[in-house]
Structure 1
Amino acid sequence: ADRLSVVDKSLYETLEHVQKTLSFSRNHDTLTRLINRDTFLDQMQRALRHARAKHTQHAVLYLNVDQFKLVNEVYDRVHGDQVLFEFARLLAQLHGRKSSSARLDSDSFAVLLLDRNMEQAVHVAEKIRHDIEASSVDIEGENIAFTVSIGVAPIREHSPEVAEILDSARTAMHHAKEQGRNRVVPYIEDQTAASTYTQEKQRVRRDLEQAVATDRFVLQAQPIRQTRNSGEAAESLHYELLLGISNKDGTLASPASFIASAERYGFMTLVDRWVVREAFLWISQLMDAQKVVPSLSINLSGMSVTDDSFMDYLFEQISEYGVGTSRVCFEITETGTISNLVKAADFVRAFRNIGCKFSIHDFGTGLASHNYLRTLPVDYVKIDGSF
């Protein structure tokens, strides 16, 4: 048994190493070892969700090495890569904590600054610009100095989607180029965007409250079955609850666009509260009728899992309806909890202590997935198709 456990551990460590290697190459630029564009956009998306949920401010810097083509023309691509590698190394050192840097394309980079307003972000950008200007790269015994143009854009509660935010920072960077290079230019927001955001947020809130009040939301139970017979009963009494929304003609529609709006404007906890209440009411009715109570998987948003008031609400609902917690499994998305891993772990532990089970949905879509398994004491994982 001891030998088997050693073998199992060795196999796990080997698989973990392979997964980490594949994950790193998938998410990082091979030359600079900075994260790549797709991974950076994922991080921006989490920052945007945080800004909308917590009313915080972040910022993104878009950097372009000035006249980089001349380096390739005067020297060669190998030396050009040397400049890019040194630039990336300096960049990773200069922007400080609560931030990350990425290579977007050949000579363009980006930095995500968390918990910084525009004034603070511009200050960081100026320091980066100054320190890079003061540095140089040795190419064949010659010190080659280079400069950088930087555009700065905010990530706020009313900001548009991440691709547009990054494009705003890129636009500001081009203005820096036009003004003579080697400078920092902040993006000037359209003030109507904030007003439009507020109006749209109010509309989504009204639509959500109306959908709840008029019983337009519907829960559908999708059976979860074993893929092969393990000697247990063929008919599994385990269901995943899926949310639907009824049209005016009574037909059911996917709530995808509605949910996307609720996530954008920070209202997913309202949706999750409705789902939990209806699910527990159904369980209570089955118990009162002395019918068999199935095991249920209930999806929770990352926003709810990290909301203290939702934790209190969930405890209250379990107590009020007398739900048998061993029959409840909460599904949380890996990508939804990644930016609040500590609070997510506290949430999971609190409800596992009273008998609930947990699963991670979309496992493998985030970075360092095995670290989540160490931190989040879940019972099941649902492997994402892209993993």
Structure 2
Amino acid sequence: MQNSEAAAAQSASGLRLLDRTLRTLTFFALPAAVLCLPVLDLLADNRLDFEFGSFRAFYILEGGILALALTLVLFAASSRKWIYILFAGWLIGNLRIAAATLGWDTQWLGHDISPALVPYVRKATSALYYLLTFALFVELFEHELAQLRQPRLVRLGLALGFFLLAAAFVLPPSDFVLLTWWIASAGLITAAIIIWRLRVVARSGNIVWYSASLLMVVAAGAGVLETLGAMLHIGTASTAYVYWVTIFSSSLLIALAATEAERALRSKQSASASAASADHDALTNTLNQKGIEQRTLRGVRAISRGEPFAMGYLDIASLKTVNDLYGHMTGDDVLRQACARVSAKLESGHSLGRISGSELIILLCNTFFDDAQLLAHSIMDDLQASPVYIGARALQLKASMGLIEVADPKQAPQDVISAAARACRLARRNGTNQIVVHEYAEVAKAEHSQEFQLLREFSAGFSPRNLFLVMQPIMSLKDPYNSLDFEVLLRMRDASGNLVPATTIITAAEEGGVAPALDKWIIQTTLEWLDKNEPQLNNTNFVCLNLNGMSLNDAHFIEEFFSTLQAYRHVAHMLCIEITESIALRDLNDIHTFIEQLHSIGVRVALDDFGAGYTSFSYLKQLPADALKIDGSFIQSMTARPADVAIVEAIVALARNLGMKSIAEWVEDSATLETLASLGVDYVQGYAISYPMSPETLLQASCCVDFITDKTVQGFVRKELAGYA
């Protein structure tokens, strides 16, 4: 029994000795060696001339400390003695303090620290180093400090550290340095008192090792100072100036100057490239919106010096369809080809920019307006002269342009661009490949037009004031005396009582950002009217409503739209939502989902203006629409152009084969009506049947035939469609 107890005691004594040896090596001998060996290497170098190799020891020091810190972290993780992590942090703190002293602390692990953060990093490093040092000291002598029974001294030292850390984030560097000296002095005094008490009262042997390691570092530091002084020829109390040429060779200085000059040049080139990229469109390498506004401002200001200025606004209309049918990468390639063609036509002083997806700005500085018009027509002719190519496929570009003369040197760039955009919209309304030219007097007049005034109103927020709805009948050619279907149309009167065109209202709403609010008002008003008057609409199978493309792209509008339909579900089934072909092609998946949601409520869908764009009939299989509204441009001219008759006939046959109804709009005379009936069109809409009317007038009739006033049309409907003699 006694032998076993003796063996156990001997084993425990051995473990304590091993732990003591390990702690001594780790916390005292090893750090002193890591800190001192590079210093001794520098002292043994015996080179008093400055060379880059002299800093080899400093790199060894940095690598040694980081390697030691990592080793300690791994050891702490395996032994679960977290004092080693504290010690690793203290070693890294030493490294950062040394780096700050030598001016290396603007980097960390090869990465630059932001100059704005450097002062905060330095202050935080100093405060954390104090805290880590004091905390490590307390952990190392935990048992000895317990014997002193003076916890106030320990708490005071730690409290000073936390106070310093908080001050690092609020005090300016000058005040923080002063505070650091005061707190560090107080901390040193506190530590000195504790060390003396430990040596006298606790008679700790560890404190001897701790003091010895400190003496080694201090001695090594003194040696480094002496060596540096000898290397730079500076005595202990020397006040003489030392010039760089006495340290560096002239060839080294020349090489250094050349390197700095090269770096400055690269920096300047990089800044120039950054400035260029800031005002250029990355896709087309033309000006972006910022660049366009800057060049416009220059052009406007130059007017006061007698330099004429004009602006063109070019819309590549076919690009939207290319994106939808062939993808955005193909569309980007087509856009680049178009920009290259336009750029080839421009001369010195002219600039090309991209204001949005398919819309370009042409800035014609120091160019007379007559010359600007000739150039605009030349650009449009060139775009139409030959197709662009998508692989082996040729595509004919369609475009519209607005050209304006700018003559007011005080006009804002945004106003100039808006005026050019308005001219471009007018060109689009006139058809494809059109140019609208506005001289200065016309631009000034346009700014006071209905559209401009309405845009100002809508920019302040949507209000339904002066808005009202009218209804235009849509007659069935299969059963004209039993149909009272119609389309709801938007109308407005200005302050003078004059009727504002619907296109003007819609354009102003789009530019003012209130198109979704306008559509919401139309839908709500229509459903309320249907709810109130449903008993009088026995012959009404569907009511057409248009939705703006901006509304379909507004998630909040879509959510409110379906909530409103659910609230009026008992009459919502009468609606037929019209979506233009170009909008349907933007995102087939989203539009398909939208149509399916409408069908789930009983709402029908018609594709409006069908055939107006680059129609690819294959996409119709992906859109479960209920009807096709044939673009009015084919209907209006079909009696004079046999080709249009063939196109309409093909669309009608396509709709029939896909299970859709066909609706022809812009039917204005009896001859057109007779042709459409012979082609098998299901419904017709236009002045030949009726002009748009008030809701009250519509309720007075039982069918669309009641509104026909033309005797020839009446006779055809009665004899040929209804079969009456």
Structure 1 residues 46, 209: CA separation in 2 closer, same or farther (over 3 Å shift)?
Answer: farther
Give 1:42's aligned residue.
317
Q: How does 1:1-387 map to 2 (within 5 A)?
A: 41-43=316-318, 99-101=332-334, 109=341, 153-156=353-356, 162=359, 165-168=360-363, 192-194=412-414, 207-208=457-458, 213=463, 215-226=465-476, 228=477, 230=478, 232=479, 234-287=481-534, 290-292=535-537, 294=540, 295-384=542-631, 385-386=633-634
Normalised by the length of structure 1, the TM-score is 0.50
The structure that is helix-richer by fraction is 2
The change in CA–CA distance for 1:343 and 1:206 in structure 2 (over 3 A counts) is: farther
Secondary structure at the counterpart of residue 239 of structure 1: strand
TM-superposition CA deviations, 1:50-75 (whole Å, max 9, x none)? xxxxxxxxxxxxxxxxxxxxxxxxxx
Contact 1:238/1:296 (8 A) holds in 2: yes
Runs of 5+ consecutive residues of structure 2 not aligned to the other structure: 1-313, 344-349, 367-374, 376-408, 420-446, 635-646, 648-725
Letter in 2 for 1:291: Q
The residue identity in structure 2 corresponding to 1:292 is L
Could you say which residue in structure 1 is the equivalent of 2:126? none
The 1:246–1:373 alpha-carbon spacing in structure 2 relative to 1, beyond 3 Å, is same
Distance change (3 Å), C-alpha of 1:196 and 1:108 = closer
Amino acid paired to 2:606:
S
Is the Cα contact below 8 Å between 2:606 and 2:626 reproduced in 1? yes
Higher strand share: 1
Distance change >3 Å, CA 208–CA 266, structure 1 → 2 = closer
Q: Give yes or no for contact 1:302–1:337 (8 Å, CA) kept in 2.
A: no
Q: C-alpha separation between the residues in 1 aligned to 2:576 and 2:587?
A: 20
Cα deviation, residue 218, structure 1: 1.1
Aligned residue pairs, count: 237
CA distance in 2, matches of 1:223, 1:245: 20
Whether the 8 Å contact between 2:544 and 2:577 is mirrored in structure 1 is yes
Does the 8 A contact of 1:306 with 1:340 survive in 2?
A: no
The 3-state SS of whatever aligns with 1:256 is helix
Equivalent residues of 2:468, 2:490 under 8 A apart: yes
Larger radius of gyration: 2
- Amino acid of the structure 2 residue aligned with 1:100: D
Shift in alpha-carbon separation, 1:206–1:273, aligned structure 2, 3 A: farther
Could you tell me whether the CA contact under 8 Å between 1:101 and 1:109 is conserved in 2?
Answer: no
Cα 1:324–1:315 change in 2 (3 A) is same
Matched AA of 1:41: I
Contact 1:361 1:382 in 2 (8 A): yes
CA shift digits 1:335-374 (9 cap, x unpaired): 2333233322221121112211111111112223313312
What secondary structure does 1:248 align onto? coil
Secondary structure of the corresponding residue to residue 377 of structure 1:
coil
1:74 maps to which residue?
none
- In structure 1, distance between residues paired with 2:604 and 2:522: 17
SS in structure 2 opposite 1:223? strand
Q: CA deviation at 1:110?
A: 6.5
Query: TM-score normalized by structure 2?
Result: 0.28
Secondary structure in 1 matching 2:333: strand
Q: What's the CA shift for 1:380?
A: 0.7
What per-residue deviation string (whole Å, max 9, x for no partner) do you get for residues 175-218 of structure 1?
xxxxxxxxxxxxxxx99434777999997565238896453111
User: The residue matched to 2:577 in structure 1 has which SS?
Assistant: strand
Q: Deviations over 1:199-245 (max 9, x none)?
A: 9999756523889645311111100002x3x3x35141211011111
Structure 2 CA distance, aligned partners of 1:265 and 1:346? 28
Report the counterpart of residue 641 of structure 2 in structure 1. none
- Tell me how far 1:304 sits from its aligned partner: 1.6
Counterpart-to-counterpart distance in 1, 2:574 and 2:363: 48
- CA separation of 1:250 and 1:265: change in aligned 2, threshold 3 A: closer
- Paired with 2:585 and 2:365, the residues of 1 have a C-alpha distance of 27
Which blocks of at least 5 consecutive residues in structure 1 are unaligned?
Answer: 1-38, 48-91, 112-149, 175-189
Query: CA separation of 1:338/1:371 partners in 2, compared to 1, >3 Å: closer, same or farther?
Result: same
1:378 and 1:169 map into 2 onto residues whose CA distance is 46
Q: CA deviation at 1:151?
A: 6.8
Return the alpha-carbon distance in structure 2 between the equivalents of residues 206 and 320 of structure 1: 34
- Quick one: distance in 2 between partners of 1:282 and 1:367? 37
The one-letter code matched in structure 2 to 1:42 is: A
Look up the SS of the partner of 1:338 in the other structure. helix
Q: Check conservation: 1:40, 1:102, Cα contact below 8 A.
A: no
Deviation at 1:154, TM superposition (A): 2.6
For 2:315 and 2:458, the matched residues in 1 are separated by 31
Task: Report the residue type matching 2:543 in the other structure.
Answer: L
Question: Is contact 2:605–2:626 with CA below 8 Å preserved after alignment?
Answer: yes
CA separation of 1:101 and 1:170: change in aligned 2, threshold 3 A:
farther
| Per-residue deviation, 1:265 | 4.4
C-alpha separation in 2, matches of 1:97 and 1:45: 11
Query: Deviation of residue 283 (structure 1)?
Result: 0.9
Partner amino acid for 1:101?
Answer: V
